[in-house]
Structure 1
């Protein structure tokens, strides 16, 4: 397969992404929401007054940073947030005109926009389909009213169903998000959520356990006893139901939280997990160029003020070999492709290869990791413990 002829939605193997220099992604953070979800700790504002001004500054940042990845061809563009579906046609055009003027874009790039169901009116879907967007990621989270109210989502159960049916009339490549482990959610209701998703025949599902982050409304409500705590045992049961149900229905579990039909893996996410460089544009956005990591200030007014003066409001850290190794372990163990011992030796050297071979032994004895032909994967027993397993394999600089 010629990488330059990959079509929208086509599966990209790790050998293609991992072995080919010159492919990168652009992530654009749209930091606005109609209302705050109780569980969310991402950077956003519920005031839309500065939206058009901020879009102009996103374009300015894109221009200022156009030479950061000079040899890279952009394979993926991803609008995340926040709520990117709040953008209007003129704002999207402004962003696309800037990107296509100043960056080298691959043929048939994957261009994803995250959307909330309540934004996907017939007119909005038609407008998005007329733009360069070719993939929608719809934040359903649940098809049940009680779950949506608990999370303070802006949409209702009826809009959740209607948004997908509307999107399917214009888009083939659709992903939906679902959340499990919600307080009060029974295994039966979770099964019904999955059944509704399967009936809608979407080709990609991302599913996450509800996480209680500090300083969120959900954290405060649980502390005050207004909402029951998250039940880890229930979340684990929901995860097992998720995996068995979707794999039995021809979805491939290609990353811990992601399931795709053949031909519909997220190319944008694959690029992250396989270590490709990406440019993060907007307040709070992160960037990676294989050697350094940068992040923008998470403050809309300060971001706008800096860009108006032609300054980039960001910090940077240079990654050590240990940083790169630890990130490789963390990301690759989450995927179906696993960690290759030959790849460790090639990328990081003998010290890291020996470290890995030593650290992995007890994990194999506990049947949390298995090895086949020099490639190590997390077992079914270990999947819900993947972050902790990865941490056990990290290389600490003091060693």
Structure 2
């Protein structure tokens, strides 16, 4: 199983918390779509022996593209790759792009005179998109304004009301740990999401990244800093509420009903191969990682010259071990001690068990059927625990941490 991720580097406006690569100027959108299609073609030999089973439009905001743009990119994949009979094709979308009763035409002025108007959801389905990931974040107006989201609460509810009539495979995003968000208010957010019957919810703690507007607003005292204890309490409420409603907590930030796990994201966490198309997109082939330059102008220039504007890192054994620890602990599948021994060797297994001992004693990790997993108590601390299990050597000569082979 392999996947293709396409990064759409455009947004209507910048959310205060976001540090992803995007531009709020649409001037180069058409040129970018053509460049993305060209990169898809340039990289076809990387997957000549692979079957593509997932296609994922991320960003940025992919829903700012026209139907014709999305169709062009999907067609480019089918033309240049072997695609499975029924691939999962996901589109990340914002509510303000989805609440309209009719589809956005290539020319907005043509909307009222179309011979056969269809909803945007029918248009998406007609080009093969079969899964939507909708960025709700909150159903409360003041939260959305604080985060500088482009939609309002009414649009969030309206788009879900319509979307669920056309798609059964829908995921929505929620953010917890928002300053001044009480436990009761967070529960209301979750209950509102559940009322639409969506089978998948992704939820993330509000984090303060450097060089974001949120960081500046906190430094100037205009917004209170998120508190870890609030985020931890919200996370526990999230787990308990969703699990009580039939969701499986299959990845740290992801909850799905049976048969509705994200195939695309699950492939990442299970170490499958994928190609990332577009500025800032990452790729993985099992041996190395590569990433495209996070600059639209330089990306367009390189693709025009038939060059791939990326950097490549060959992964060492320690790199692969560390990545498996990180992804394994975050998922329902855990870390297989048998795989650690067979793939990385006895020394890595001994090291892992030694490092894990304190977390096992503190009831933050447990071992069952030779699988290492976080306990319910340990889940919120997973990333920190994983970092303590990484293989790192302190190089005293240059006072830098670096990875070495065991």
Above 0.5 in TM-score? Answer: yes
**For residues 107-148 of structure 1, what are the alpha-carbon distances to aligned partners after superposition, in whole Å with 9 as ceiling and x for unaligned?**
211100000000002322222122110000000000000000
- 1:65-214 equivalences in 2 (<5 Å): 65-120=43-98, 121-122=100-101, 123=103, 124-214=120-210
1:275 aligns with 2:275: no
CA contact (8 A) 2:47 2:81 kept: no
Provide the rounded CA distance (Å) in 2 between the counterparts of 1:241 and 1:361: 28
Provide the rounded CA distance (Å) in 2 between the counterparts of 1:97 and 1:191: 42
Which of these residues, 331, 334, 337, is aligned with residue 338 of structure 1? Answer: 334
- 1:1-399 equivalences in 2 (<5 Å): 23-120=1-98, 121-122=100-101, 123=103, 124-396=120-392, 397-398=403-404
Offset of 1:70 from its aligned partner?
A: 2.2
Offset of 1:337 from its aligned partner?
A: 1.0
Provide the rounded CA distance (Å) in 1 between the counterparts of 2:340 and 2:50: 24
CA contact (8 A) 2:291 2:312 kept: yes
Offset of 1:71 from its aligned partner?
A: 1.5
Residues paired across the two proteins, number = 377
Provide the rounded CA distance (Å) in 2 between the counterparts of 1:321 and 1:142: 41
Residue aligned with 1:200, SS = coil
Offset of 1:96 from its aligned partner?
A: 1.2
Larger CA Rg, structure 1 vs 2: 2
CA contact (8 A) 1:341 1:375 kept: yes
Residue aligned with 2:45, SS = coil
TM-score by length of 1: 0.93
Offset of 1:286 from its aligned partner?
A: 0.4
CA contact (8 A) 2:2 2:267 kept: yes
**For residues 20-67 of structure 1, what are the alpha-carbon distances to aligned partners after superposition, in whole Å with 9 as ceiling and x for unaligned?**
xxx100000000000000000000000001101100000110111101
Provide the rounded CA distance (Å) in 1 between the counterparts of 2:291 and 2:369: 38
Offset of 1:183 from its aligned partner?
A: 0.9
CA contact (8 A) 1:61 1:307 kept: yes
Which shifted more, 352-361 or 241-250?
Answer: 352-361
CA contact (8 A) 2:164 2:196 kept: no
Offset of 1:395 from its aligned partner?
A: 1.2
**For residues 201-236 of structure 1, what are the alpha-carbon distances to aligned partners after superposition, in whole Å with 9 as ceiling and x for unaligned?**
100000000000000000000000000111111111
Offset of 1:375 from its aligned partner?
A: 0.7
**For residues 165-205 of structure 1, what are the alpha-carbon distances to aligned partners after superposition, in whole Å with 9 as ceiling and x for unaligned?**
11111111000000000111111110000110111110000
Structure 1 residue runs of 5 or longer lacking an equivalent are 1-22
CA contact (8 A) 1:69 1:289 kept: no
Provide the rounded CA distance (Å) in 2 between the counterparts of 1:26 and 1:257: 21
CA contact (8 A) 1:143 1:160 kept: yes
Provide the rounded CA distance (Å) in 1 between the counterparts of 2:90 and 2:238: 24
CA contact (8 A) 1:204 1:260 kept: yes
RMSD, aligned CA: 0.9
CA contact (8 A) 1:31 1:82 kept: yes
Provide the rounded CA distance (Å) in 2 between the counterparts of 1:132 and 1:138: 17
Query: Looking at both structures, which has the greater relative contact order when contacts are Cα pairs under 8 Å and sequence separation is at least 6?
Result: 1
Q: Which residue in 2 is equivalent to 1:20?
A: none
Provide the rounded CA distance (Å) in 1 between the counterparts of 2:74 and 2:60: 19
Provide the rounded CA distance (Å) in 1 between the counterparts of 2:234 and 2:146: 18
Residue aligned with 1:160, SS = helix
TM-score by length of 2: 0.92
